[in-house]
């Protein structure tokens, strides 16, 4: 028996009987909400140190699922897929099989980094003007686009799971789905965050019958401390386990998805304008998750790998790091370091907005955007005593030497602020950094009737109309096209071995969150837990810089304002609090120990776990 076959057999047998959660009391199959019956969520810690593998995510149920997979012989890929499936149950407003994402994997055996582009695609009937009013030629109201079938892209998450497991996993998709299926059947305890996110979406959830029935049981918000079950999703997961992902892409689940997109289940009496979508079953049948080469750059001798376009995460984080390499960021002058960080982000976003889209539809200069020469050319814009003015004009990475031009560019387009991120590692040294999403919190607000999951609104990540007259826009809608994303699942390597795995939700603030976390850790002398917990600021080539409350109360604020920065409170868009991002990260020490880190407070606090914990 080969080593791989032995691993598959061992992990498969373990998952058949995996004791994931405390046993739940028997309940009627249709019950979706009720008393907790003694079911307690796993313990939640923001930091865990140890060996044998690790998991970090926003939710303790999901992290516990991944940890049990590792404990029973699964590898980092098995754990990542099982954790993601569990997040689809307990974080249904951020991720699920109705969405997509990007999967970054380090293979310890080959010492190579691989990535999967599981981004949603526009249906075959989508055109550049699909989000414009034919009578006026202007963009339709954004709210009408979000809460509609028109915003729903062809889901990529199930295809991503299947491709990852098929290439690098040791269990089948069906086995990876079992733990999440059990949670969907037995239920999870409603916490303050879940109730608050439901309340944020209550008005639009009530406008769709299937969504109100699932997430507003008996017409009311879920009660903190009670059990929330999703038997429809459990049945859907079982169907995927039995039939494979073709149940969605070519089978009955896909039939229901296409029918729902074309005819959203609008509640009687709803006054919202709900546009039908363009997706057909043939769009689902034609979907493919794509293996892509990762982006790569270096930063002070470290190798940084991330996601290539259709995501802008790898090129934008990478370009900003390349720009910052031209400066000395020091903890002894934190104000100047933060100034340089904000300016590098501003410049990189100007270039991102102009050049990055789906590489299948445009001549995209990804390699040139990550050129050290181009970064040095753009770095000449940064002055130590004054801030740049946004919107800044983009540079041309194919024609370096023009980077110091301070012309006017276009404003940053909107991108939904929700999403979720997870990281896993195993005893063999494999590592996964995986970001997945259904776009904004609650996605399109449309639940597929009888299926238990929300559909994405990812197509609103397209630019509805060109950002700047007379300038080509690589991110306009199109058939089969992937809208530009900011998801930035990232791996930092030292001498060929993993050092840091990191990522975050947060729409376009994902890029700045990952960048600031790396600057905090690699330049400003913070430990990884400190780097994650530190107050965040986000500059994305906008006239103002978003900031969390803790930063607005910091001594660095007035000093940066004296340089010309204009700070505003970050909007409370994907949580009830004004927060930027929600990091999950791992750091690998020279002694073989791994430090797993989750948010201590943002989004209610995350959950970091290790197989063998040390003090």
**Is residue 100 a part of any domain in this protein?**
yes
What's the pLDDT at 105?
98
Buried b (16+ CB within 10 A) or exposed e, 42-63: bebbbbbbbbbbbbbbbbbbbb
Residues 6+ apart with CB under 8 A from 494: 301, 302, 303
pLDDT at 37: 37
Counted residue by residue, the chain has a size of: 615
DSSP state of 408: B
Average the pLDDT over each of 311-320, 392-401, 535-544 and give the range with the smallest value: 392-401
Note down the domain range covering 405: 1-16+46-615
**Residue 32: inside a domain:** no
Q: Mean pLDDT for the chain?
A: 91
| Furthest C-alpha separation in the chain | 70
What percentage of the chain carries pLDDT values higher than 90? 85
Contact between 163 and 105 under an 8 Å Cβ cutoff? The reply is no
Q: What does the pLDDT read at residue 342?
A: 98
- Residue in 154, 157, 52 with CA at minimum distance from that of residue 103: 157
- Examine the pLDDT at 577 and tell me if it is beyond 80: no
Q: Is the pLDDT of residue 417 over 70?
A: no
Residue 23: predicted pLDDT: 32
What residues contact 442, with CB distance under 8 A and at least 6 apart?
93, 197, 200, 201, 204, 205, 418, 454
102-134 pLDDT, tens digit per residue, is: 999 999 999 999 999 999 999 999 999 999 999
Q: Averaged over 49-72, what is the pLDDT?
A: 97
- Say what the pLDDT of residue 412 is: 60
Q: How far is CA 154 from CA 253, 279, 477, 576, in A?
A: 13, 7, 13, 29
Q: pLDDT band for position 415 (50/70/90)?
A: low
Tokens of 237: 């997961």
Residue 33 within a domain: no
For 350, other C-beta atoms within 10 Å of its C-beta total 25
**Mean pLDDT value of segment 137-152:** 96
Q: Give the mean model confidence (pLDDT) for residues 51-69.
A: 97
The average pLDDT across 7-17 equals 46
How many of the other CB atoms lie within 10 Å of CB of 291? Answer: 12
Domain contains 31: no
pLDDT in the model for residue 595: 98
Range with the poorest average pLDDT among 79-83, 103-107, 359-363, 555-559: 359-363
Whether the pLDDT of residue 418 is over 80: the answer is no
Give the residue with greater pLDDT, 300 vs 38: 300
Catalytic residue of the set 211, 419, 435, 460: 419
Domain count across the chain: 1
pLDDT digits (tens, 9 = 90+) for 528-557: 999 999 999 999 999 999 999 999 999 999
Query: What is the structure's pLDDT at 493?
Result: 98
Q: Point out the least confidently predicted range of 236-245, 410-419, 567-576.
A: 410-419
Asked if residue 366 is part of any domain, the answer here is yes
Q: 468 falls in which pLDDT band (50, 70, 90)?
A: confident
Q: Are 126 and 481 in contact (CB under 8 A)?
A: yes
Burial 199-217 (b: 16+ CB within 10 A, else e): ebbeebbbbbbbbbbbbbb
Contact yes or no for 378/325 (Cβ under 8 A): no
The answer to whether residue 329 sits within a structural domain is yes
Amino acid 2: pLDDT: 46
**Residue 22 banded pLDDT, cuts 50, 70, 90:** very low
How far are the Cα atoms of 133, 228, 355, 421, 502 from residue 506, in angstroms, in the given order? 29, 25, 21, 10, 14
In a domain, residue 72? The reply is yes
Q: What is the mean pLDDT of residues 496-523?
A: 97
The pLDDT score that the predictor gives to residue 416 is: 53
- pLDDT the model gives residue 408: 66
pLDDT above 70: residue 402: no
Q: Which of 193-202, 432-441, 460-469 has the lowest mean pLDDT?
A: 460-469
Residue 269 neighbours by CB under 8 Å, 6+ apart: none
Q: Judge whether 386 lies within some domain.
A: yes
By C-alpha distance, which of 85, 56, 52 is closest to 71? 52
Mean pLDDT of 430-441: 96
pLDDT beyond 50 at 179:
yes
Query: What confidence score (pLDDT) does residue 470 get?
Result: 80
Is 419 a known active-site residue? Answer: yes
Task: Provide the pLDDT confidence category of residue 40 given band limits of 50, 70 and 90.
Answer: confident
- Residue 411's pLDDT band, with cuts at 50, 70 and 90, is low
């Amino acid at each position: 028996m080969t080593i791989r076959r032995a691993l598959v057999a061992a992990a498969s047998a373990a998952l058949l009987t995996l004791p994931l959660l405390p046993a739940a009391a028997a309940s009627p199959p249709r019950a979706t909400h009720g008393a907790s019956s003694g079911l307690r969520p796993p313990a939640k810690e923001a930091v865990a140190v140890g060996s044998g593998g690790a998991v970090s995510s926003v939710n303790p149920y999901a992290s516990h699922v991944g940890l049990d997979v590792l404990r029973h012989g699964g590898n980092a890929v098995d754990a990542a897929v099982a954790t993601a499936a569990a997040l689809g149950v307990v974080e249904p407003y951020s991720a699920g099989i109705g969405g997509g994402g990007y999967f970054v994997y380090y293979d310890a055996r080959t010492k190579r980094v691989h990535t999967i582009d599981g981004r949603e695609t526009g249906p075959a009937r989508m055109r550049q003007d699909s989000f414009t009013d034919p009578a006026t030629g202007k963009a339709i109201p954004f709210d009408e686009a979000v809460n509609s079938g028109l915003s729903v892209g062809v889901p990529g998450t199930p295809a991503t799971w299947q491709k990852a497991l098929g290439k690098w996993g040791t269990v089948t998709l069906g086995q990876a789905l079992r733990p999440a299926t059990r949670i969907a059947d037995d239920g999870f305890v409603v916490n303050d965050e879940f109730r608050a996110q439901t309340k944020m979406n209550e008005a639009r959830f009530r406008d769709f019958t299937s969504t109100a029935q699932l997430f507003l049981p008996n017409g009311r918000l879920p009660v903190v401390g009670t059990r929330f079950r999703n038997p429809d999703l459990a049945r859907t997961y079982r169907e995927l386990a039995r039939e494979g992902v073709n149940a969605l892409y070519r089978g009955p689940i896909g039939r229901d998805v296409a029918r729902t997109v074309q005819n959203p289940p609008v509640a009687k009496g709803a006054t919202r304008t709900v546009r039908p979508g363009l997706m057909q079953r043939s769009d689902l049948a034609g979907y493919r998750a794509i293996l892509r080469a990762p982006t790569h750059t270096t930063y002070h001798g470290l190798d940084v790998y991330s996601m290539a376009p259709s995501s802008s995460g790898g090129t934008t984080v990478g370009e900003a790091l390349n720009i910052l390499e031209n400066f000395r960021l020091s903890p002894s002058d934190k104000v100047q370091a933060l100034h340089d960080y904000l300016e590098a982000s501003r410049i990189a976003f100007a270039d991102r907005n102009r050049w990055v889209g789906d590489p299948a539809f445009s001549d995209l200069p990804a390699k040139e955007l990550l050129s050290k020469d181009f970064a040095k050319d753009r770095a000449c814009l940064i002055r130590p005593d004054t801030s740049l003015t946004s919107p800044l004009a983009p540079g041309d990475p194919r024609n370096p030497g023009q980077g110091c031009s301070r012309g006017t560019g276009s404003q940053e387009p909107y991108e939904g602020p929700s999403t979720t991120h997870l990281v896993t590692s195993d005893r063999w040294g494999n590592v996964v950094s995986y970001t997945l999403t259904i776009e904004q919190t609650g996605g399109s607000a449309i639940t597929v009737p009888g299926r238990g999951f929300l559909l994405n609104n990812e197509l609103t990540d397209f630019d509805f109309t060109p950002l700047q007259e007379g300038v080509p826009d690589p991110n306009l809608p199109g058939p089969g096209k992937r809208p530009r994303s900011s998801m930035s699942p990232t791996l930092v390597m030292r001498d060929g071995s993993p050092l840091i795995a990191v990522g975050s939700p947060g729409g376009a603030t994902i890029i700045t969150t990952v960048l600031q976390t790396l600057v905090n850790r690699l330049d400003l002398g913070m430990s990884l837990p400190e780097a994650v917990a530190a107050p965040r600021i986000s500059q994305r080539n906008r006239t103002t810089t978003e900031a969390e409350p803790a930063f607005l109360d910091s001594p660095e604020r007035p000093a940066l304002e004296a340089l010309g920065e204009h700070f505003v409170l970050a909007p409370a868009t994907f949580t009830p609090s004004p927060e930027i991002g929600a990091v999950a990260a791992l750091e690998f020490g020279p002694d073989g120990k791994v430090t797993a880190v989750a948010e201590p407070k943002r989004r209610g606090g995350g959950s970091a776990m290790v197989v063998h914990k040390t003090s």
